[in-house]
Amino acid sequence: MPATFAIGDIHGHYDRCLDLLHEAGLVNGEHHWSGADATLVFIGDYVDRGPDGIAVLDLVMRLQTEARQAEGQVIALLGNHDLILALAYRFGQGPFHDWWRSAGGIASDLKHMTGSHLHWLLNRPLMLRLGDKLYVHADAEVYYDYGRTVAAVNQTVEQIIRGNNVTNLSVLVDQFGEHRAFFVDPERAATFLATYGGSQVLHGHTPIPGMAGNSHDVTTRPFVYADGLCVNLDGGIYAGGEGFVYRVV
Residue 33 phi/psi, 5-degree rounding, is -60, 130
> Using 50, 70 and 90 to split pLDDT, how confident is the model at 216?
low
Going along 94-192, which residue ranges are E strands? 127-130, 133-136
Burial 198-233 (b: 16+ CB within 10 A, else e): bebbbbbbbbbbbbeeeebeebeebbebbeebbbbb
Range 10-16 average pLDDT = 98
Closest to 43 measured CA to CA, from 82, 73, 14: 82
> Does residue 60 or residue 213 have the better pLDDT?
60
User: What stretch of H or E contains 120?
Assistant: helix 115-122
pTM: 0.97
Q: What is the dihedral of CA 70, 74, 11, 104, to 10 degrees?
A: 130
User: What's 4-247's CATH class?
Assistant: alpha beta
The Cα 120–Cα 90 span in angstroms is 13
Range 200-221 average pLDDT = 87
Query: pLDDT tens across 146-197, in order?
Result: 999 999 999 999 999 999 999 999 999 999 999 999 998 999 999 999 999 9
> Using 50, 70 and 90 to split pLDDT, how confident is the model at 227?
very high
What percentage of the chain carries pLDDT values higher than 90? 93
Would you state the pLDDT for residue 207? 95
Query: pLDDT tens across 82-137, in order?
Result: 999 999 999 999 999 999 999 999 999 999 999 999 999 999 999 999 999 999 99
- For the chain, which residues make up each domain, given as ranges? 4-247
The Cα 231–Cα 212 span in angstroms is 12
Query: pLDDT tens across 30-68, in order?
Result: 999 999 999 999 999 999 999 999 999 999 999 999 999
Would you state the pLDDT for residue 1? 83
What percentage of the chain carries pLDDT values higher than 70? 99
Would you state the pLDDT for residue 214? 75
Going along the chain, which residue ranges are E strands? 4-7, 39-42, 73-76, 127-130, 133-136, 200-203, 223-225, 230-232, 245-247
Region of poorest pLDDT, from 2-6, 28-32, 78-82, 208-212 = 208-212
3-state secondary structure of 153: helix
Whether pLDDT at 215 is above 80: no
Residue 83 phi/psi, 5-degree rounding, is -65, -45
Would you state the pLDDT for residue 184? 86
Would you state the pLDDT for residue 160? 97
Closest to 186 measured CA to CA, from 200, 176, 173: 200
Would you state the pLDDT for residue 210? 86
Would you state the pLDDT for residue 213? 81
Would you state the pLDDT for residue 16? 97
Range 228-249 average pLDDT = 95
